[in-house]
Structure 1
Amino acid sequence: MEKNELHPSESRFPLPSEPMIMAVTPEMASDWLSYRNHPKNRPLSKAVSARYQADIEAGRWTQATPEGLIFDTDGYGVSFQHRMKALANVSTEALVKAYGTPYLNFWVFPGEPREIFEVVDQGYKRTAAHVLHVPYASSLGAAARHLAALADSDRWGMPRFPKITTPEIVATFHAWPELTWYIKDIHKACVDAGIPIGPHAAVLAQAARTEHRDRIPEWLEQVKTGASLGPGAPALHLRKKFHNPLPTGKGKRDLAYALIVKAWNAYANDTNITVLRHAVTEELPKVTGFSFEKKAEEAA
C-alpha cells in the first residue's frame, strides 16, 4: 500500500491514498484515535462508544458499510472517533469469536475537505422502526427494547434500557416472533384503556412462551373493553390504573411494566385482587411461568 505523507506523522498506521475497504484492528483504532483525532472534533461520548462496543462484541456490527471512516486532507479524522474508540476497547479474541478475524472491515475515505465536518453525521438518527419495516414498527421496537433490557435480569428494574442499541432491538425483535402475534389488540388496549404498548407487548410475548398462552386472547378482550368484569378482576384494576397517567419520575417505566406483570400474573393464576400497586422497594416481578435466567441457561 502506498503511504500517504499526511500529518500527524506520529501515527504508525498510514491512511490509503484513495478510498478503499481496510481491515482495522483494535491497535490501529487506538493509534488513529490518539494521533488523528482533530482537536476541533466534537467531544467524544463514552455512552455512544460503549453502545457501539457492545454491538461489536455481540457480533451485531455490520462491516464495510458505505458510512465509512472519513479523514481530511491533513490526515485527521472527520467522522470516525466513536467507532474507533469502541473498536480500540475490544479484544482481538472477542473479534475472532464474533467475526472470525482479529479486525473489522471499514470503508476509509482519505483526503476529504475539512469543511464537510459541518454537514456529515448530522442526519436524522436511524431508529429500530426505520429498520423493521413492519406494521406497528415503533411499538414493536419499544417492546423489543423492554425484552432486551429485561434479559439482564436485574431484580430492581431495567437500568440498561436507555443503552439498548438499534441493532440489539432488531436482533431481539427477530428472536421474539411472539411480539407480533397480539400487537393489533395490544394497540387497541392502549387506545381504549391507556395501557402502554411497549411493556404490555413485552409481558405478553413472555406469557406466550408459557402454559398460559391460550388465555391471552381473553385477557386482551377484558383489558380492551372492561365489560362484565367483577370488582376483583385483574384486567379491570389494570384499566383503572392507567385511566389517569402514572406519576412522572425516574421509575415510571419500571412501574408501568410491573403493574402489567402483576395484573397478568393474577389473571393467569385465577386470582382476584383488591388493589394493584408496586412499590419502589419491591423487586421487579417476573411473568409467571417464564424465566430469563432459564432461557439463558438453555441457550448456553
Structure 2
Amino acid sequence: MAIKAVPAYTAELTPEGSQYPLPSTPQILPVTPEMASDWLSYRNHPKNRPLSKGVSAKYQRDIESGRWREASPEGLIFDTDGYGVSFQHRMKALANVSADVLIEKYGEPHLSFWIFPNEPREIFDVVDQGYKRTAAHLLRVPYATSLGNGARHLAALSDGDRWGMPRFPKITTPEIVETFHAWPELTWYIKDVHGASLDADIPIGPHAAVLAQAARTAHRDLIPEWLEGTRYGLNLTQVDARLHLRRRFHTGLPAGKGKRDQAYALIVKAWNAYVNDEPVTVLRHMSTEVLPRVDGFDFTKQVKAA
C-alpha cells in the first residue's frame, strides 16, 4: 500500500526551469512520473555519472511488477543548489511508468520516496545508489581502472584464503578505494604493467597486485628488469620464467570459474622462479593447488603489523 504524505514545498532550492520544488527538510514525499521527468531534466547535475539504460530498465521492471519498496531509507539526495546527487536511475525508471500501472500496483498514481535536500555535493564520493560508482569514478588518477583492478585483487587476497579469491566479486567500491590508498606501490609500475598487457596479454589486475607485494620485499630492485622482459620478450632464454609467462598468456587461459585464480597463480609462480633464478620448462597451476605466495611477502604478517 502506498504511503500517504503531504508535500511541504519551498522554492528555495529549485534550479531554474523545474516546475516541482524540493522540500526544505528531509521527508517522505509522493513523486509522480511527471515530477520524476521534470527532476531528471532540470536537476541532473552535469558532473553526475552517465545514466545507465540497463540499470534504469531494471528499476522500471521492478516498479511495473509491483516489487518496488516505497519510502526506502535509500532516498533521493539533492545538493545545496537543488541538483541531484543520487536519484537519476530511479527517476528515469519512474518517468517511464504510466500512472495507470502505479494505481494498479500501488493504489496511487505516484511512488513515495524519502527526499534529502540541501546535502553537500562532496557526499557524491560516498553514496552508492543504483548504477554503482566504480573505483575509477573515485580514484581520479591515470590508469584508474587498472589500479582499481589491482586493488580489488589485493583486497580479495588479504582475506587469507589461499585456495582462491572467493570474495573477489563481493569487494565493494569503498574497499577498493581504501586498498588503493593503503598500497601506493600499485602506482609505481602501473604504466609498464599496462604495457605488458597490451604487448603480451598479461592481465593487469593480478600482475599489478603481484608487483605491489613484490615491492615490499627484498626483491623490489628486480621489478624493472622483470617488466622489461615480460613486456618485450627480448633476449630471453628458453628457461626464463618471463618467456614462459608471455607464452602462457599468448595462448590464452581456459574459460571457467578458476580462471582468475589461475592467472594470478601463474604470475606469482613466474615471479618467484625469476627472483630465485630457477629455470622453468613448464609453467602451470592446477585447480587443486593452493594459491602461491609472492616470495618474501606474507599477508598474515602484514595484517598483524597493521
TM-score, normalising length: structure 1: 0.64
- Residue in 2 aligned with 1:232? 239
Query: For 1:130 and 1:77, how far apart are their aligned partners in 2?
Result: 30
Query: For 1:16 and 1:205, how far apart are their aligned partners in 2?
Result: 54
Aligned amino acid, residue 86 of structure 2 = E
Q: 1:40 aligns with which of 66, 89, 112?
A: 66
Aligned amino acid, residue 155 of structure 1 = R
**Distance apart, 1:15 and its partner CA:** 10
- Pick closer, same or farther for the CA change 1:246–1:67 going to 2, 3 Å: same
Query: For 1:152 and 1:243, how far apart are their aligned partners in 2?
Result: 30
- Pick closer, same or farther for the CA change 1:148–1:21 going to 2, 3 Å: farther
Q: Which runs of 5+ in 2 are unaligned?
A: 9-22, 28-62, 75-79, 95-107, 118-128
Partner secondary structure for residue 86 of structure 2: coil
Task: Give 4+ residue runs of structure 1 displaced > 2 Å after superposition.
Answer: 6-9, 14-22, 38-44, 64-68, 72-78
**Distance apart, 1:40 and its partner CA:** 2.6
- Residue in 2 aligned with 1:20? 25
Aligned length: 220
- Residue in 1 aligned with 2:259? 252
Query: For 1:225 and 1:164, how far apart are their aligned partners in 2?
Result: 33
- Residue in 1 aligned with 2:122? none
Aligned amino acid, residue 116 of structure 2 = V
Select the structure of larger CA radius of gyration.
2
C-alpha contact (below 8 Å) 2:2/2:112 kept by paired residues: no
- Residue in 1 aligned with 2:217? 210
Partner secondary structure for residue 108 of structure 1: strand
Query: For 1:291 and 1:252, how far apart are their aligned partners in 2?
Result: 23
C-alpha contact (below 8 Å) 1:15/1:75 kept by paired residues: no
Query: For 2:183 and 2:215, how far apart are their aligned partners in 1?
Result: 10
Asked if 1:138 is matched to 2:145, the reply is yes
RMSD (CA atoms): 3.5
- Pick closer, same or farther for the CA change 1:108–1:215 going to 2, 3 Å: same
Query: For 1:16 and 1:153, how far apart are their aligned partners in 2?
Result: 52
Identity %: 60
Q: Which runs of 5+ in 1 are unaligned?
A: 1-5, 23-37, 45-51, 53-63, 81-106, 110-120
C-alpha contact (below 8 Å) 1:128/1:169 kept by paired residues: yes
Query: For 2:26 and 2:270, how far apart are their aligned partners in 1?
Result: 53
Query: For 1:210 and 1:242, how far apart are their aligned partners in 2?
Result: 26
